[in-house]
Structure 1
Amino acid sequence: MNQSLIEQLNLWHEDDKHQYIVDTLLAIPKDEWDYEALIRLGRAYNNLGLYEEALHHFEKIAEQGQQDPLWHYRVGFALFHLKKYEDASQVLRTADMLEPGDPNIEYLLTLSLQKAEKQHRQELRIAAKRKNAMESNRSTGDYVPFANMSLDDFWEDSEYAKKSYLSEPPTDEMIVSIEEELGYKLPSSYIALMKQQNGGIPKNTSFPTEEPTSWAEDHIAITGIMGIGREKSYSLCGEFGSPFMIEEWGYPDIGVVICDCPSAGHDVVMLDYRACGRDGEPEVIHVDQENDYEITFLAENFETFISGLVSEEEYDTSEEDKAEDLYKIAHGKFSPLLEELCSQVTEVDQVEMKIRAVCTKVVEEKGHFSFHADELSYLMYDVQFWLYTKSHPNTNREQYLNMYDKMIAFGGEFGQGGYAPAWITEWLEHRINEGRILQEDGRLRLADQFTLELINRIREI
């Protein structure tokens, strides 16, 4: 491979144009592929999240790569993201021996070893539970849910809970219907709790963990417990219930999403039926979208999970987190893309300060920096779309969704550190259905009247 092509591929890599690298290298006849071409092709596939394809190409140069720490690192990177942590650890150990002291290799090796150990513990726990499933005391018929726990003061009384969670107590017919739709038998302790109150927000919303998650070092938090039904948004088969989270958000199809969390979709609590089968007593797990849907064991069963909930005050860092987000919004540097887009605006004076002002209101209202489906979030979705399509008028739907995260979601200093793609697609569909965003020959643009309304609204901030 000639030097000018290598330099071009390196530039594309730095600019995150990984599909350009793939397309260019695939256009070269295969008999002209050399080691440099294939290791760069594998790296590009890794960066596109196509890890199996990356491994396929790395395998072609396995013999040549045995003394190359980069080959071992990139193979380990692919295996890590395929959750083959033990295999990743082995390959990364070799990379570390070939190039000791490399921080990227050391970091990924440490992470792989930690996750391999966690994965091994999980496999042992599931195997043990399967072995002992038939010996459970709960099969004797003597089990009475929550016999040693009072539920009189369990639930928070709030209008939001009544609107989004709380349904009438489930009938036996409703329970059977929901179980049939989900494909799983619900735990008797969960059914007992729902007959006491069918969904809602508990007063205690934190659960201690032995391992860190994207939420905290030592606990997870829930927003509410989904009820048995379809009517309320946060019921098992409601608008944002278990099927929605699995089908639309990509959560693993191993059970039932039972609790939503404050991250608005970035993590959930699930009933896990892998060890017990669809009719058995499921474990309770935390699933972390932020960490590639990593699973953390919480409790042996639902009753243990409920009885283990503690007050958020035991872990409350909300004021510190809010202060950090407010400082970031006031002083954080905009991403290169957002900075460039703002520099093209002539319709609004000091548009950067307007954006910071709206985001400050978001944090003041929510306590953290994230966009969901509320009015201020929709305003920021609109603003970002206006900024981008103003400078890139030929943008189609796929292009916009692919670059959205480069403005604020993963904006570096002035950024949220993550986002839920479903919120963006829902906003886009909503605006299209309203006629405020138009599709013309595959291109997207704001309707003229809505553009004027949006500009005036930004000016008034």
Structure 2
Amino acid sequence: MDQSLLKQLTHWHKHSEHQKIVSALLEIPETERDYDAVCLLARAFNNLDRYEEAVQQLLIVEGQGRQDPLWHFRLGYAYYYLKRYDEAVHAFGDADKLDPGDPDTLDFLTSSRQEAGKQHSQVTRSKRVKPDNASGTGTPADGDFFGQIDFTRFWDDSDYARKEYVSEPPIDELIASIEEELGYKLPASYIAMMKIHNGGIPVQTCFPTDDATSWAEDHISISGILGIGREKAYSLCGEFGSPFMIEEWGYPDIGVVICDCPSAGHDVVMLDYRECGRDGEPAVIHVDQEADYKITFLASNFAAFIQGLVHEDVYDTSEEDKQEALRKVAAGKFSPLLAELCAKVDEVERIEHVIRTICTQIVEEKGFFALHADERSILMYDLQFWLYTKSYPQTTRDRYLGVYEQMIAFGGEFSTGGYAPGFITDWLDNRLQQGLIVENDGTLQLTAAAAETLIDQLKAVEVSGSPNPDEETFETIADQIRPFVLVQHDSGNVSMILNVGEYKAELFVLRADEGFEGNGYDWGSLAAVFLEEKMPELAGVIRFDPEASMFCAYSSEREAMYRFATGFKQACEDEALIRDLFARAELD
């Protein structure tokens, strides 16, 4: 493109004179417009709210734009405002893959997913027509409950699903027996579905909601659908079935639990018989233990619920959630109890580092921070028990089960945010059965041999989690920048993290009347000024991803991150310099 024209276009764009850009570029014959001209024309159309024309222009150069994140961003922008949210999700997703971490892209990607979910919800709700028949039970005369659903592709028949959920199709005698035990007549649509495939994990596990729950603002997620039976753990009358959830977890006795959720018991999906009576056609509701058993309406009947399920990709924030979890386990503040217990350990050097290393491995493997029944989770159960009983040797079973959640499960910043008590009692019973934990006069303790083995495991983690000789620089930089924390990720990224609130709090008071609070976003604004003025050569290499309680800078280029981290920490310690930089920080 002619440089004088480009300069003129830049000037018009800066002054929001977008129509002048369009007029100038349309004067160029279409066959003579190069890639840059077409993209700038599309940008101007977007800024004039002429999104269809923007899409048309961008698709002309689709072949050239496939590796350009800005092309994908502009296309996603147009699709977003055209309310073509599914297409916007794909476009912004491709932009993020090509240029990971760009905050504008991530904001639009998140919004597009949310709007796509709402759009799916509206479509689903418009199709929800309660079945009608003479008997009033909601059973259509032809028995076609589910419309066009292809049940050969509905289920995810993994080994785990078959082991924990799937039973043989129920016979009528079993159905009658289960209904008698539950005290409710099961919906005909549910029975018909179970006779085809009795319980399991569906491919599509999300259901849109208008109201926020403890799971998400705009949807709930299920782990599986309980089948009719007693043998499988996740069947209606199985080990973790409806009676168990009502009697042991306190869910309201208003119907039948039909789906478990990823929260490990802290929310469920139920059939609700309050309006229809025990023999009628129940609605489907979500019950949220975390919100004092709040009830959220989902569907007027079971068939409508199944038809309304959507794929988790519609709401996929897994990568963002994983990065947040990694930051949490790397720098989140330990609970008072866990900090107290760690302070008393001398058998293992850097026990806090060991705990963070194990939990980082858990997040890298799962994508989130949770303890289940896997090898590393069991190591964390052993570790917490050892720490607690080492400081409190007169610990009984009831005392330990009562205090367990105060260490990590609900430990504040460094926590899983919940837990399933069954995992802990199963672990404890297994350790007692194996002879690794013994009970004497009601008190529990690890055997000497088990404690020695555990300490050896922890020492091995400490060694494996330490930098290699070739990476001694990492340890040096990490020491130099405290209280900032330096974190290496398996992805290759290096992060610099700060739990805000104490360090340099007095700096942000200087502009408190303007709204600065010293939160993670304020730190991000300060760091952006430093980067722009003191290390402009690293612009685009160092990225920021702050949260309210945490500042985070990251990069895929290790040496660049080291330079930025040491430079920014030095600036923070130079009172005159950091005040000067802060004077130009912009409130987010």
Structure 2 counterpart of 1:290 = 290
Q: How many Å apart are 1:427 and its aligned residue?
A: 2.5
Q: How many Å apart are 1:441 and its aligned residue?
A: 1.8
Q: Tell me the percent identity.
A: 65
Alignment of 1:352-367 (within 5 A): 352-367=352-367
Say if 1:428 and 1:250 are closer, same or farther in 2 by CA, change over 3 A. farther
- The structure whose Rg is larger is 2
Q: How many Å apart are 1:148 and its aligned residue?
A: 4.9
Deviates more, 1:156-165 or 1:185-194: 156-165
Aligned CA RMSD, in angstroms, stands at 2.1
8 Å CA contact 2:264, 2:419 repeated in 1: no
8 Å CA contact 2:215, 2:221 repeated in 1: yes
Distance 2:148 2:382 in 1: 52
Structure 1 counterpart of 2:413 = 413
Q: How many Å apart are 1:335 and its aligned residue?
A: 1.4
Distance 2:366 2:423 in 1: 16
Say if 1:264 and 1:345 are closer, same or farther in 2 by CA, change over 3 A. same
Amino acid at match of 1:327: R
Structure 2 counterpart of 1:172 = 172
Question: What whole-Å deviation, never above 9, does each CA across 1:354-385 have from its counterpart, x for those lacking one?
Answer: 11111112212222111223332222111111
Q: How many Å apart are 1:391 and its aligned residue?
A: 0.6
1:225 maps to 2:225 = yes
Where 1:271 maps in the other structure, the secondary structure is strand
Alignment of 1:323-362 (within 5 A): 323-362=323-362
TM-score by length of 1: 0.68
Deviates more, 1:441-450 or 1:197-206: 441-450
Distance 2:250 2:378 in 1: 23
1:237 maps to 2:227 = no
8 Å CA contact 1:275, 1:282 repeated in 2: yes
Structure 1 counterpart of 2:185 = 185
Structure 1 counterpart of 2:194 = 194
Distance 1:160 1:218 in 2: 28
8 Å CA contact 1:271, 1:285 repeated in 2: yes
8 Å CA contact 1:373, 1:423 repeated in 2: yes
8 Å CA contact 2:201, 2:223 repeated in 1: yes
Question: What whole-Å deviation, never above 9, does each CA across 1:16-48 have from its counterpart, x for those lacking one?
Answer: xxxxxxxxxxxxxxxxxxxxxxxxxxxxxxxxx
Say if 1:134 and 1:360 are closer, same or farther in 2 by CA, change over 3 A. farther
Q: How many Å apart are 1:133 and its aligned residue?
A: 12
Q: How many Å apart are 1:192 and its aligned residue?
A: 0.9
Q: How many Å apart are 1:144 and its aligned residue?
A: 3.5
Say if 1:187 and 1:139 are closer, same or farther in 2 by CA, change over 3 A. closer
Structure 1 counterpart of 2:302 = 302
Amino acid at match of 2:393: P
TM-score by length of 2: 0.53
Alignment of 1:42-441 (within 5 A): 136=136, 138=138, 141=141, 144-441=144-441
Amino acid at match of 1:162: R
Amino acid at match of 1:146: F
Where 2:338 maps in the other structure, the secondary structure is helix
Question: What whole-Å deviation, never above 9, does each CA across 1:76-111 have from its counterpart, x for those lacking one?
Answer: xxxxxxxxxxxxxxxxxxxxxxxxxxxxxxxxxxxx
8 Å CA contact 1:264, 1:372 repeated in 2: no
Q: How many Å apart are 1:139 and its aligned residue?
A: 6.4
Distance 2:436 2:293 in 1: 35
Distance 1:284 1:235 in 2: 17
Q: How many Å apart are 1:147 and its aligned residue?
A: 4.3
Distance 1:211 1:383 in 2: 39
Distance 2:134 2:430 in 1: 50
Say if 1:320 and 1:371 are closer, same or farther in 2 by CA, change over 3 A. same
Say if 1:133 and 1:358 are closer, same or farther in 2 by CA, change over 3 A. farther
Q: How many Å apart are 1:351 and its aligned residue?
A: 1.4
Q: How many Å apart are 1:417 and its aligned residue?
A: 2.2
Q: How many residues align?
A: 330
Distance 1:264 1:433 in 2: 25
8 Å CA contact 1:248, 1:422 repeated in 2: no
Say if 1:426 and 1:169 are closer, same or farther in 2 by CA, change over 3 A. same
Deviates more, 1:214-223 or 1:359-368: 359-368
Say if 1:309 and 1:140 are closer, same or farther in 2 by CA, change over 3 A. closer
5+ residue gaps, structure 1: 1-131
Q: How many Å apart are 1:316 and its aligned residue?
A: 0.7
